[in-house]
Structure 1
């Protein structure tokens, strides 16, 4: 099989394509022939930072590090204890998060409790793009924020991977959703169904809107998240994607008298099944904006690392 090995933390030049032995499924494992791989900001963060690599693996870093957590493909083989899947099934999932999913490869091993069947109405590219971003958004909007019908919800970076799912999940729950982005992405954000679009380059977002009940802040900045506390009603909720910011945010949350929750996404077939039902019904759509070949994976990471990607970036393996 082909795979990308992280030789050391740092730039994309440290990710090398190599030829490895084929894998074999045993026990509760499912062997997947890869069709599509979602590329996420977490991939870049772990590639760049030995701190992030240590954190995500709990300090148990294998000698051979293969990045990637999103995968969609066809089941090639199952272990003797697997009952949910069989060879030929089309599946997708977020693999071993936290940990190493090792999905930057043409073959991937997963346990059956990390996978779901791909709906017939979505392509492999869409399925591969979905797991990490959608599960992060689900665990932010549904699990942590517990968004309710009629609440005002602000989603920052609504044009991004997590943001575009967060908008759709909040709308599906009956919320009034405000999405922030730059003006060039206004049409994209409005296509998601937002009730209001807010151009953050026009003026500070806190000067452009009234109070909201919930903020989903996807921006990797303590200062930005602190600014979000200023627009939330007393007793409201703030969800951010960097749990390690908790200590730095504690006083701001106390001053604003709101609840704050950090989300570190985790693999969950249970959550992914809920998301899959929305995809199958057409109530939620995965917006794939760029695709790359397996040999172009470095270019795909560069697009994500730029911070200017809209929707989802996907690598197709064939």
Structure 2
């Protein structure tokens, strides 16, 4: 097919005051617009694009490098309509970051996460995306378009936290906090497939019940002050001596609250700060040789490893809502703000045969 010179895309606009509960923030508008499609080694016709909380933070102005006029969105699955022969007409995932190819320690180039920012200059909430050939990888055959479109960003973040940083192995005892989040849900799937004994925390009983059905041994409500004791009781109930790792998205005094349940040499991996921007490390943890590790996103090599692992074990992201067409993308942000979704939010941008616009 011929490659268009323009594309419809969901574009970040100017900001104005907007009320969120009791707070007023400077919130960026966004709308579907016709924009020029730049040249690229590869052009992908987007089938489905996934939403992440990062996009909501961008619209609230809580993210570095925001650029008005940029296309939003970091996750997508689509068909290559222009590019090298080995990629042409193949279904692919858009790699949600640039500047990090394979270095296990951190980015090996100018790092950037796709969508809503000045670097890189493209986003996935678009009918077409032009990018480098190294910025796409094959989509897993066992995933639907919707599942594939919601996979990459959460998967690479979870894989780096679980495998690269926490080094989870069969028989390890693991706590995953905030299990309702997309990264945490994928981390649970990885840990269970690796043979770990997984426990979760959430403020929602239904989410804990979902996690147990997905393979967790049990869960605790982090709003209960007794949750550290409840967790210790669960470990004892399953004849387990303590935690070998925590995969955390919240921050705060996690080590202080779980210290008695941590095994010597346990690894605490923090990839977010939804509760607090700090994670105190006390001497009791130091004396137990506990490792506190930061983790952010990951490399293309880690994304490929995560996706290959998912294909082998038939793992999929949980998708709760599918919106039809870019013109309904605003609903995705409304659902993110409400925070009631039990899985990923996806917009179907086009079908194999034509556009949904």
TM-score by length of 2: 0.76
* Number of equivalenced pairs: 301
Q: 1:307 to 1:245 in 2, by over 3 A?
A: closer
- Which residue pairs with 2:285 in the alignment? 256
Contact in 1 for aligned 2:142/2:314 (Cα 8 Å): no
Query: Alpha-carbon deviation of 1:114?
Result: 2.8
The answer to whether 1:314 aligns with 2:335 is: no
Residues in 2 aligned to 1:297 and 1:235: alpha-carbon distance in whole angstroms: 45
- Which residue pairs with 2:92 in the alignment? 91
Residues in 1 aligned to 2:276 and 2:212: alpha-carbon distance in whole angstroms: 32
SS in 1 for 2:39: coil
Report runs of 4+ in structure 1 exceeding 6 Å deviation: 243-247
Please list every run of 5 or more consecutive structure 2 residues that lacks an aligned counterpart in the other structure: 1-6, 16-24, 99-111, 116-122, 233-241, 350-355
Q: 1:165 to 1:244 in 2, by over 3 A?
A: closer
Contact in 2 for aligned 1:153/1:214 (Cα 8 Å): yes
Query: Alpha-carbon deviation of 1:292?
Result: 1.1
- Which residue pairs with 1:158 in the alignment? 179
Please list every run of 5 or more consecutive structure 1 residues that lacks an aligned counterpart in the other structure: 55-60
The Cα offsets for residues 146-182 of structure 1, whole Å up to 9 and x where unpaired, read as: 1122111001122321111111111122211112222
Residues in 2 aligned to 1:291 and 1:247: alpha-carbon distance in whole angstroms: 32
Residues in 2 aligned to 1:240 and 1:8: alpha-carbon distance in whole angstroms: 33
RMSD: 2.7
Match for 1:192 among 181, 192, 214? 214
Residues in 1 aligned to 2:313 and 2:114: alpha-carbon distance in whole angstroms: 31
Residues in 2 aligned to 1:92 and 1:44: alpha-carbon distance in whole angstroms: 22
Question: When you count helix as a share of all residues, which structure comes out higher?
Answer: 1
Residues in 2 aligned to 1:123 and 1:134: alpha-carbon distance in whole angstroms: 16
Residues 120-129 or 101-110, more deviating: 101-110
Look at both structures and tell me which one has the larger radius of gyration over its CA atoms.
2
Query: Alpha-carbon deviation of 1:306?
Result: 2.7
TM-score by length of 1: 0.84
Residues in 2 aligned to 1:238 and 1:138: alpha-carbon distance in whole angstroms: 15
- Which residue pairs with 2:11 in the alignment? 5
Q: 1:309 to 1:281 in 2, by over 3 A?
A: same
- Which residue pairs with 1:14 in the alignment? 29
